[in-house]
Amino acid sequence: MNTFHTLQSRSLFNFSWLLCLFIVAQTCNSFGQLKVDRVVLRPDGKVELSFQTNAGRYYRLLSGTVVDSIKTPVAVSFLPPLIAPPSDAPFRFLQLQGISLSAALDSDGDGRDDVAEMLAGTNPLQVDEAIPTVTSIISSPAHGENEVAVTRETVLRFSQPLAAATEITTANFFAEFGGRKLLSRVEISSDRRKATLFYLENLPGASRVRVTLNPNRILDSGGKAVDGDGDGQPGGVALIDFDTLSTTALPRTGVIGRVFASELVPGPVNGSVNVPLKGVTITVDGAEESLRTTTDANGNFKLEPAPAGRFFVHVDGRTAEGSEWPNGPYYPFVGKAWESLPGKLDNLAGVTGEIYLPRVSGNTLKPVSLVADTTITFPPEAIAANPALEGVSLTIPANSLFADNGVRGGRRQAICLRNSSALRGKT
């Protein structure tokens, strides 16, 4: 879900007090919660927020003087920190917003969305700016990014579409480690604004990877070479370095938790109770064969040994008792970021140690088309249980769905994933 951290500050004699910080859920997607690392009140009255980023989204900071009307954008960026300008108001509320790159907003209302403006080098909060004539590039992971998952692909987003005849291959877009090119394949999006390097092997753990794009013969729709090195001129080689997470397991380090079905059932006496899921498979990304575990009859699991620090896992509900994957109702396959302390055997998975998987109706999976846009909606039973989902849809552009290895096509369904236990802990 897109989640929001709301910060209230009170100005008094040029001094601000940070009074509260809390999370509010808004819409559904698969990104999970934002995590603010640091809030700094600068001497010039500006408020600086640093936070953990996630793949696939950019960030916006809103300001307001009333807690239920925080609507004015004051900062937009792909990466932290976000900085709010000073304010003379006696009370001010700031809202940090994570937004999917595929559902970018138009903060200044000039007809171009925030992502397009940032890629073009213009200010998404200022209208009527001149549009640069050189096609720029934004990468994900960003240059210098750390804690990158070893299963993450590399994406380049272009400020203008590439020319129709332009081809990008692993000859001019590739990743290297230790002097060896990593096995990969390249795909260009249907709107020709994005090139993705899909890896056919896991990235090396705890390592610095270099991605190279040589824009020679990579032309935009205006016939100019893209600006690879970011100097504002056509051409130039793009070099993107990032560091991956460690997947090395440490002795006497473990993660524990329980997996439940999202839906409550009537209790034996009064009220409702959770239903534990048996047989759910949990694997560490990049070490799927060696670092894995399954839940017992009570939904309990223990992953030991486990990596220390931050690492990524996949929780596979398709193997759970009661799943009828792929031809009937099932529990989904979801990714998570966990953290553990070395030498501690009872690190809790996530924040609470509890994971909730919704039961997905078999008829929600819909094949996507290679020639026409495919619109996916929630099934009637999901809308009956959650009326707020009425009218919510997801449109997959033609020929734009990829498997992890870059193969086009497949099936997709709409699922609402929640992480906050205050909202029934559905994930």
Which residues of the chain, if any, have pLDDT below 50?
Answer: 1-32, 414-427
Q: Which of 243, 262, 291 is the last residue of a domain?
A: 243
Determine which helix (DSSP H) or strand (DSSP E) holds 115, and give its type and residue range.
helix 114-120
CATH of the domain at 27: 2.60.40
On the CB side of 52, CA atoms within 13 Å amount to 13
330 with 274, same domain: the answer is: yes
Instruction: Give me the pLDDT at residue 272, please.
Output: 87
pLDDT tens-digit series, residues 117-162 = 888 778 899 886 666 678 999 999 999 999 999 999 999 999 989 9
- Other CB atoms within 10 Å distance of the CB of residue 10: 13
C-alpha distances in angstroms, 383 versus 62, 201, 427? 31, 39, 17
Which domain, by its residues, includes 293? Answer: 249-350
In DSSP notation, 369-416 reads PSSS-EEEE--HHHHHH-GGGTT-EEEE-TT--B-TTS-B--EE----
Task: Determine, yes or no, domain membership for 56.
Answer: yes
Task: Determine, yes or no, domain membership for 96.
Answer: yes
Instruction: Give me the pLDDT at residue 285, please.
Output: 94
Instruction: Give me the pLDDT at residue 422, please.
Output: 27
25 with 6, same domain: the answer is: yes
pLDDT tens-digit series, residues 20-55 = 333 333 333 333 457 787 888 788 888 888 888 877
Instruction: Give me the pLDDT at residue 31, please.
Output: 39
Domains: count for the chain: 4
pTM: 0.69
Instruction: Give me the pLDDT at residue 3, please.
Output: 43
C-alpha 55/C-alpha 394 separation (Å) is: 19
Is-cis flag, bond preceding 387, omega within 30?
Answer: no
Task: Determine, yes or no, domain membership for 11.
Answer: yes
160 with 236, same domain: the answer is: yes
